[in-house]
């Protein structure tokens, strides 16, 4: 039995690592599609997928997670891939895009998540690791194209893995 314990533990660790890597790679399959598809015959929501749901809930908290991911009145564009490693999701409040926006960048290789919540001139960054300055220049350029000028910027890092 003692000889089996290390073997079982090793197998469990490999299974978890494989599932995590596999689910991050699956995010690439969303590129070009919309984050939420409400068609009755094919409902899809990227925010409910295994790689994102738990990370976003820990990172943003339950209230922000619900507000950002399940509001019916958000306008969303198709998901894009920037710098070959970052899946980008951008959305804004319908009829109020200038004032309320959300920007999400997920590194599909490492799994780190970066969320920018823009609200009337203030920007709150939430990161599973690092800061916004750690993001590659093309990702920050994408953000600059989408969001208006920011007065206040706040950085919050919470390990959510």
Instruction: Find where tokens 């959300």 sit.
Output: 102
The confidence score (pLDDT) of residue 19 equals 43
Strand ranges inside 19-110, DSSP E: 36-37, 44-45, 74-76, 80-82, 86-93, 100-107
d(CA 43, CA 25): 21
Residue 13: pLDDT over 60? no
pLDDT tens-digit profile of 93-112? 888 888 889 999 999 999 89
pLDDT tens-digit profile of 29-88? 999 999 988 776 777 888 888 878 889 989 998 888 887 776 667 888 999 999 999 999
Residue 131: pLDDT over 50? yes
Tokens of 146: 């989408």
Of all residues in the chain, the percent with pLDDT exceeding 90 is 34
Global pTM reads 0.79
Residue 4: pLDDT over 80? no
d(CA 147, CA 5): 52
- The least confident of 3-7, 49-53, 116-120 is 3-7
d(CA 141, CA 157): 21
Do 113 and 160 contact (CB within 8 A), yes or no?
yes
Q: How far is CA 86 from the centre of its chain?
A: 10
Report which secondary-structure segment, H or E, holds 53.
helix 50-70
Average pLDDT, the chain: 81
d(CA 46, CA 98): 24
- Measure Cα distances from 37 to 11, 19, 53, 118, 153 in Å: 36, 25, 16, 24, 32
- The least confident of 36-40, 132-136, 155-159 is 36-40
* Nearest one of 154, 85, 71, 151 to 116, comparing CA atoms: 154
């Amino acid at each position: 039995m003692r000889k089996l314990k290390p073997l079982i533990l090793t197998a469990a660790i490999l299974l978890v690592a494989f599932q995590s890597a596999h689910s991050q790679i699956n995010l690439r399959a969303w590129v070009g599609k919309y984050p939420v598809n409400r068609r009755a015959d094919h409902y899809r929501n990227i925010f409910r997928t295994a790689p994102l749901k738990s990370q976003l809930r820990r990172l943003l908290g339950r209230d922000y997670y619900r507000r950002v991911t399940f509001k019916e009145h958000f306008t969303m564009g198709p998901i894009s891939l920037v710098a070959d490693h970052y899946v980008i999701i951008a959305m804004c409040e319908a009829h109020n895009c200038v004032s309320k926006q959300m920007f999400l960048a997920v590194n599909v290789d490492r799994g780190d998540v970066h969320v920018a919540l823009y609200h009337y001139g203030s920007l709150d960054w939430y990161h599973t690791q690092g800061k916004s300055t750690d993001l590659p220049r093309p990702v920050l350029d994408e953000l600059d194209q989408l969001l208006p000028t920011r007065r206040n910027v706040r950085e919050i890092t919470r390990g959510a893995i």
